[in-house]
Amino acid sequence: MEQQDVERIARAAMKELGAHGVVLTINPAGQAGHWRIEIRGGHGPDHIKIKCGQGSSAQWVRDQIFEKYLAHG
């Protein structure tokens, strides 16, 4: 999965979570397939880390974002 794919999915997931207006920065997090999503301007965590690589589905990425964002509360 490419960085722009992760960005697109993350932005859509944040809107679904009601986190409108947040600023996201997505960067590789060391190992291949690991991503760090910086979140500025929301009421949730300031960052989350997800895993996805070749063959990962958009649903898998979305589910991880939801799970980790909601676990912050």
pLDDT band at 54 (very low <50, low <70, confident <90, very high): confident
Residue-number span of the structural domain to which 13 is assigned = 3-58
Domain presence at residue 11: yes
Largest CA distance in the chain: 32
Domain presence at residue 33: yes
Q: Model-level pTM?
A: 0.91
Residues 57-65, mean pLDDT to the nearest whole number: 97
Domain presence at residue 73: no
pLDDT band at 63 (very low <50, low <70, confident <90, very high): very high
pLDDT band at 73 (very low <50, low <70, confident <90, very high): low
Radius of gyration of the chain (CA): 11
Domain presence at residue 43: yes
Rounded Cα distance between 69 and 72, Å, is 6
Rounded Cα distance between 26 and 48, Å, is 10
Domain presence at residue 47: yes
Split into its structural domains, the chain has a count of 1
